[in-house]
Structure 1
Amino acid sequence: MIAVAQPFARFAVGAFLIVNLAIVHLMFVAAGPPAHNMFGQVGRLLGLYLAFTMTVQVLLVARLPLLDRAFGMDRLTGWHRWTGFTVFWLAVLHPAFVVVGFARYDRVPVFTTAVALSRQIPVLLGLIAVGLIVVIAGLSVRIARRRLSYETWHAVHLLLYVVLVLGIVHQVYEGTAFTINLFTRIYWWGLWAFALGALVTGRLIVPLIRNLRHRLRVAAVVPESDDVVSVHVTGRDLDRLQARAGQFFLWRFPGHNRWWQANPFSLSAAPNDRSLRLTAKGVGTTSAGLRDLPVGARVFAEGPYGAFTLAARTRPATLLIAGGIGVTPIRSLLEDPELGADTVVIYRVRRGADAVLLGEIRNLAAGKGARLHVITGRTGGDNQPFHPPNLHRLVPDITGRDVYVCGPHALTTAVLAALRTLKVPSRQVHAELFRLAG
């Protein structure tokens, strides 16, 4: 399924970008004046790029099922990040070139021109949107991101919707290239209608319908260790969710956390028509308080998301690598009936006490005839299991296996680097990094 979906999705994405960028350039050429110099012309073109890039960002935030199944939410979130920084630079450069262009044309200082333009309400709204984009981008830089809780970072990203409103209003009054003729008006507002329609449908309408249909509730809360807890969720007709082992949901617990706080937790057991299970480590406000959820509490789930499933396999033999709490999707994959006996599981933890769900993993591995390696201790010296020679010694036929890896960033990065060194084909490598945004 994934193998068929990916080429079509790549073609669809490439065609969408090429066709729309071509139309954007035609609109720029057809608009002609009022840009009176090179600075004004560049500023106007950058404005068109900015507006189009914002529609792309909206489509990425909408989490279209076609793209999710083909590429996985993790890769889409990477695209979201780079698209966001592209929006940032375009948002800074577009007004800068426009202001310089007007200043040179009117032969007045740049600052005087900027103040005069900002007194126009549509321009002022655009500048406010630029300021919000700068805030979002600044807090998305890795140094700043590490200092924020997931809940705070997610709340900041909700400013994106304010930016969209301000940006659209700005385009209505200032976007002369969009109103050249009937075709440009139909095209431009049709593009925005498609993007916003996808966003509202994917992030609001579909989740609301699904949650009304399935009526999710907390069935049990089971502590797995001092800081890890499993939440069992029941509901009606859960098979209609079409969730798969390895996927995740965005979870909200009304009454336990604020409505805008949603956390991505993987399924830690293969889903069925009666129950779902998530297992989380208490690292944030929401996850730390899960053990206080009362039985019967309402649950709002958005998803399932992710292509970290056995549908992505290219080989019958499999290697599953988990680190820390990253064991949750690995544990659910191990339970998937499609997983064969030719499976190796590597579970990396600092201490034996940190190996949550280990009893379940041992039972599942034994039931399938899979090999399980639990590796403990600090990394360094002779204990470097993901150093390429050591990993190859542990799994000699690694190049003939699909490899699934989920764990802390440092572990995942080390494993991916080792797999490249060992020349494991990229199509056989599947990683879940949980960089979800927006």
Structure 2
Amino acid sequence: MTTVQSPPTPATAVRPRVVARTGLYALLAANVAAVTFFAADAGLGSGALVVLGRFAGLYGALLMAFQLLLVARLPWLDRRIGMDRLTRWHRWTGFGLLWTLVGHVVFITCGYAGLAGSTDPVGQLVDLAETAEGVLRAVVALGLVLVLGAVSARWARRRLAYETWHFIHLYAYVAVVLAFTHQIALGTTFTASSAATAYWYTVWGAALGAVLFGRLGLPLWRNLRHRLRVEAVVPESDDVVSVYVTGRDLDRLPARAGQFFLWRFLTRDRWWQANPFSLSAAPDGTRLRLTVKAAGDGSAALRHLRPGTRVFAEGPYGAFTALHRTRPDAVLIAGGVGVTPVRALLEELHGHAVVIHRVTAERDAVLHGELRDLAHAKGADVHLVTGPPVPDRLSARDLSGLVPDIAERDVYLCGPPPMMRAVLATLRELGVPQRQIHFERFSLAG
């Protein structure tokens, strides 16, 4: 493929990830301050438990809106932070949301029960649900959040197919609507002043607008604009296949080497299934390429795609790009089929690069011929490391022997999770600064 060369990305002390992360922290802190101000200005009533409950509810509403922002897949945030980190933050924010909403219900119910001289908080909650507008909606919203929290636990997530987990998570939007209408009905800070009302409408409007833009509007617009289709399907080995995708005006698609898309191939039996596959060659303005190893029914079926098949792609996503360079030279470490974004990234990187490809046997070295030829053209070094998948196969001694100056380079890492964990530990042992280590895990959020 003929690559459209991106201009060199200069190493800079101002890291894009730090800028984006600091911006998110500042945004959240500013909104916490605003919520606190409007709550204090409105007055939260009598009784310590009631006051605590109302604060918990307000902060819970803010966390719910913040969660929507984290999974909106906004390009500016995704390119700088990465979907995997945003998803992880979304998960932990979700558990914070769960506890604030539980606290809201418990404190409010017990507080009102105490003010009424009752010792039956459950009865008090039932009475509020029957008599106060919006309370029943809030109880249903809490129930949905509890279910979502349960299926997000690690033990449950590992047992659920992604499609099942994703379908359940769609009920989060129902919970958002119910919580919002509850806030309108009973939120004293919502109606305390025109400024408070405008603030909360702005918060919810911005959060929901971000989701509609990033998850629906932008993907639809890009696919209508580019009209992607399968151009060719090329077997690379018995269980690896490359799919070439072409379309209109692909030079205007803001994809970079190292990024991935969520691909839907619109066949009769697979149109509903989205899979995250990295680009295995840098975008050249005329076609995109993904290279996939058969690991399940969905990936195995790609071998049988016909040229002309329509494609719906969401993305590009990911921060595994040259945007995050901090040093003039780099080390690219790939495990197995994790070489696909590494091979693409090598096309775009400037400066001297060392590529280390870790596989069980030489026959598993996907795209190694391409990688070797590309490295030769760019003056890079390639090392193929073979052997059983044991943690010490890329030990500190191995890496320092292959790349003596590794602590002075950017390190890009992609591969199976066990291999990545082992290599990350080795990089820490070798004293490679955290800011120079770049990796990304495929992680989808609902």
TM over 0.5: yes
Gaps (5+ residues) in structure 1? none
* In the alignment, structure 1 residue 138 sits paired with structure 2 residue 150: yes
2:3 matched residue in structure 1:
none
- What displacement does 1:82 show? 1.4
Q: Distance in 1 between matches of 2:202 and 2:321?
A: 35
2:350 aligned with 1:339:
yes
Equivalent pairs, count:
433
> Structure 1 residues 28 and 432 mapped into 2: Cα distance closer, same or farther (>3 Å)?
same
- 1:344-363 alignment runs, 5 A limit: 344-363=354-373
Matched, 1:431 2:439: yes
Instruction: For 1:181-200, list aligned pairs within 5 A.
Output: 181-200=193-212
Separation in 2, partners of 1:292, 1:236: 24
> Percent identity over the alignment?
55
Residue 154 (structure 1) shift: 2.8
SS at match of 2:357: strand
SS at match of 1:404: strand
Question: 1: distance between equivalents of 2:361 and 2:389?
Answer: 11
The answer as to whether partners of 2:219 and 2:313 remain within 8 angstroms in 1 is: yes
The letter for the 2-side match of 1:436 is L
Higher relative contact order (CA 8 A, sep 6+): 2
Query: Secondary structure in 1 aligned to 2:333?
Result: strand
Return the alpha-carbon distance in structure 1 between the equivalents of residues 268 and 133 of structure 2: 41
Residues 278-427 of structure 1 aligned to structure 2 (within 5 Å)? 278-336=290-348, 338-340=349-351, 342-380=352-390, 384-427=392-435
Cα pair distance change 1:257/1:161, threshold 3 Å:
farther
Q: Which moved more, 1:359-368 or 1:319-328?
A: 359-368
> Following TM superposition, by how much is the alpha carbon of 1:116 offset from its aligned partner in structure 2, in angstroms?
2.3
**4+ residue stretches of structure 1 with deviation over 6 A?**
none
Other structure's SS at 2:234 match: strand
Partners of 2:382 and 2:265 in 1: CA distance: 35
For the 8 Å contact 1:252–1:299, the answer to whether it is kept is: yes
Structure 2, unmatched stretches of 5+, are: 1-8
Compute the displacement of 1:236 (Å): 0.7
Is the counterpart of residue 37 in structure 1 residue 56 in structure 2? no
**1:331 is paired with a residue of what secondary structure?**
helix
Equivalent residues in 2 for 1:195-210, closer than 5 Å: 195-210=207-222
CA distance in 1: counterparts of 2:269 and 2:424, whole angstroms = 35
Q: Is the 8 A contact 1:155 1:260 kept in 2?
A: no
Equivalent residues of 1:178, 1:184 under 8 A apart: yes
Counterpart Cα distance in 2 of 1:322 and 1:121: 57
Look up the equivalent residue of 1:432 and give its one-letter code: E
1:215-254 paired onto structure 2 within 5 Å: 215-254=227-266
In the TM superposition, residue 76 of structure 1 has moved relative to its aligned partner by 1.8
CA RMSD across the alignment: 2.2
Classify 1:331/1:248 alpha carbon distance in 2 versus 1 (closer, same or farther; 3 Å). Answer: same
Residues 266 and 135 of structure 1: CA distance in aligned 2, closer, same or farther (over 3 Å): same
Structure 1 residues 92-111: aligned runs within 5 Å: 92-108=102-118, 109-111=120-122
- C-alpha distance after superposition, 1:297-352 (max 9, x if no partner): 1111121111211121112211001112222111111222x333x21111112233
Counterparts of residues 114-129 of structure 1 (less than 5 Å): 114-119=125-130, 122-129=134-141
- C-alpha displacement of 1:33: 4.1
1:385 touches 1:391 (CA, 8 Å); kept in 2? no
State whether residues 234 and 242 of structure 2, in contact with CA within 8 Å, keep that contact through their aligned partners in structure 1: yes
Aligned counterparts of 2:271 and 2:109: Cα–Cα separation in 1: 40
- Structure 2 match to 1:66: 76
CA distance in 1, matches of 2:106, 2:304: 51
The residue identity in structure 2 corresponding to 1:429 is: I
Q: Letter of the 1:32 partner, please give it.
A: G
* CA pair 155-38 structure 1, distance change in 2 beyond 3 A: same
What secondary structure, in the 3-state scheme, does the structure 1 residue paired with 2:232 have? strand
In structure 2, the partner of 1:26 is 37
Q: Which amino acid aligns with 1:392?
A: S
